[in-house]
């Protein structure tokens, strides 16, 4: 019997793991099943673009994995029995349990209401395609002069606020940040951010922790009421709850505790990647939930699984940061260079070059999903990767 590998979730990390395993292992030895609820790959880093009316090119998994040997199972995961080594799924035909020998948990994360009253009832989110499409429909119905309040001053909040303000200059866009605007950035980064936000006419409420959301306003900790025809909630992410409901060892936030190879410390036949995993990076700091963190964990997990099944050498993928890439609409951007443990340094890239840089990064991430041999140590693959990256940069600059 072939070794059964099931990958749960086909976001950036899950799709990369499935593809890389298919390239490294022989079909006669393994059966790889990729379970996902949607038939197309979702570029999650572009959800703010989708919400503002931009159409994204479809990326069907049936095309991405054609000829690889990966079996795509369109189903919703409802549970994991890590002791019985089965996954419970539901699809159009009903419920079923899928047995596995190795499981890769890549169900990622969604928006986090943080228990704030009114968020679930009144706020919109862009953590996934359904939420972005719901916000898109609502924004399209707004009349000129109505107010949109984006809650959350992190990367997602900045991208959402600037994208909405650029796409709909007739709206009154505001940003409510719990701290100072871009307070984690370098002085040059903060200066550029304030310049762009001002140019777009965004009202910024700094040190304004939102403690309640109403149908037509948000309320801050000091009792201030900010009018909001639409509230967009971007304060952070919460992991999928399935892992926490299993026997896996998880953190208080529900992330699966893994070792340096992304293998569960409690169940060695389970691997976790991306937002679903508690991964320690440089400085013994947990990696933040992001595409930049997730993709290297996918490389590490795929390499470790292949090595353990074939008797090869375990990989040692560097888990570190180089920069934070922030789009500020379609024409502006901010690339904040950082230390290995994600602390801002003085160097930044701004303006149109930064917007192009960010676009290349987004395209490269999606290309890496469709071309899972990216990063594998052979000359032919290295040349192919470099040519593809160069082509993406030229196309973006055109």
Q: Which residues have CB under 8 Å from 257's CB, separation 6+?
A: 248, 249, 250, 251, 264, 265, 266, 278
In this prediction, residues 97-113 reach a mean pLDDT of 95
Domain 3-110+237-318 and domain 113-233 have a common topology = yes
Please state which CATH number belongs to domain 3-110+237-318: 3.50.50.60
Looking at residue 376, its pLDDT comes to 52
Percent of the chain with pLDDT over 70: 93
Q: Which residues have CB under 8 Å from 325's CB, separation 6+?
A: 292, 333, 335, 354, 357, 358, 361
In this prediction, residues 228-254 reach a mean pLDDT of 95
Q: What is the 3-state secondary structure (H, E, C) of 81-117?
A: ECCCCEEEEEECCEEEEEECCEEEECCCEEECCCCCC
Per-residue pLDDT band at 316 (split at 50, 70, 90): confident
Domain boundaries, the chain: 3-110+237-318, 113-233, 321-398
d(CA 10, CA 40): 9
Residue 244 has pLDDT above 90, yes or no: yes
Q: Which residues have CB under 8 Å from 208's CB, separation 6+?
A: 176, 177, 178, 220, 221, 222, 224, 226
> What's the start-to-end Cα distance of the chain, in Å?
51
Q: CATH fold of 113-233, please?
A: FAD/NAD(P)-binding domain (3.50.50)
Looking at residue 374, its pLDDT comes to 52
For residues 231 and 174, the answer to whether their CB atoms sit within 8 Å is: no
Largest CA distance in the chain: 64
Cα 168 to chain centroid distance, Å, stands at 25
Strand-strand pairing, 277-278 and 323-327:
unpaired
Least confident of 33-37, 128-132, 185-189, 379-383: 379-383
In this prediction, residues 358-368 reach a mean pLDDT of 90
Per-residue pLDDT band at 371 (split at 50, 70, 90): confident
Looking at residue 392, its pLDDT comes to 40
321-352 pLDDT, tens digit per residue, is 999 999 999 999 999 999 999 999 999 999 99
Percent of the chain with pLDDT over 90: 86
61-100 pLDDT, tens digit per residue, is 999 999 999 999 999 999 999 999 999 999 999 999 999 9
Give the chain's mean pLDDT. 92
Neighbour count for residue 207 (Cβ, 10 Å)? 15
The helix/strand/coil state of 303 is helix
Residue 379 has pLDDT above 50, yes or no: no
d(CA 263, CA 270): 6
Looking at residue 384, its pLDDT comes to 40
């Amino acid at each position: 019997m072939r070794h059964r590998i099931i990958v749960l979730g086909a976001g950036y990390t899950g799709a990369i793991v499935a593809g890389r395993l298919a390239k490294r292992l022989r079909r006669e030895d393994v059966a790889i099943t990729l379970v996902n609820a949607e038939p197309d790959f979702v570029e999650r880093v572009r959800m703010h673009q989708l919400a503002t009316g931009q159409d994204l090119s479809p990326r069907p998994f049936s095309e991405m994995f054609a000829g690889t040997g990966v079996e795509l199972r369109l189903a919703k995961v409802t549970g994991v029995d890590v002791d019985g080594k089965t996954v419970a799924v539901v699809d159009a035909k009903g419920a079923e349990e899928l047995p596995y020998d190795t499981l890769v948990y890549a169900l990622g994360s969604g928006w986090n209401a943080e228990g704030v009253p009114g968020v679930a009832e009144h706020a919109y989110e862009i953590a996934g395609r359904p939420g972005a499409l719901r916000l898109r429909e609502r924004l399209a119905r707004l009349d000129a002069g109505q107010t949109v309040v984006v809650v959350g001053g992190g990367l997602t909040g900045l991208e959402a606020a600037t994208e909405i303000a650029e796409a709909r200059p007739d709206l009154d866009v505001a940003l409510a940040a719990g701290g100072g605007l871009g307070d984690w950035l370098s002085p040059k980064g903060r200066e550029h951010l304030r310049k762009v936000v001002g140019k777009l006419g965004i009202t910024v409420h700094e040190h304004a922790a939102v403690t309640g959301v109403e149908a037509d306003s948000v309320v801050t900790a000091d009792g201030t009421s900010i009018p909001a025809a639409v509230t967009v909630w971007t304060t952070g992410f919460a992991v999928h709850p399935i892992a926490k409901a299993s026997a896996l060892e998880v953190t208080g936030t529900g992330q699966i505790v893994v070792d340096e190879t992304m293998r569960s410390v409690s169940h060695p036949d389970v691997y976790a990647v991306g937002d679903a995993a508690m991964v320690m990076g440089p400085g013994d700091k947990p990696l933040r939930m992001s595409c930049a963190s997730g993709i290297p964990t996918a490389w590490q997990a795929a390499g470790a699984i292949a090595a353990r099944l074939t008797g090869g050498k375990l990989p040692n993928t560097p888990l570190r940061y180089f920069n934070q890439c922030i789009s500020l609409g379609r024409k502006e951007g901010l690339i904040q260079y950082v230390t290995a443990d994600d602390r801002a340094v003085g160097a930044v890239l701004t303006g149109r070059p930064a917007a192009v840089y960010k676009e290349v990064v987004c395209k490269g991430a999606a290309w890496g999903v469709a071309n899972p041999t990216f990063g594998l140590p052979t000359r032919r693959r290295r040349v192919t990767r470099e040519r593809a990256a160069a082509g993406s940069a030229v196309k973006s600059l055109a």
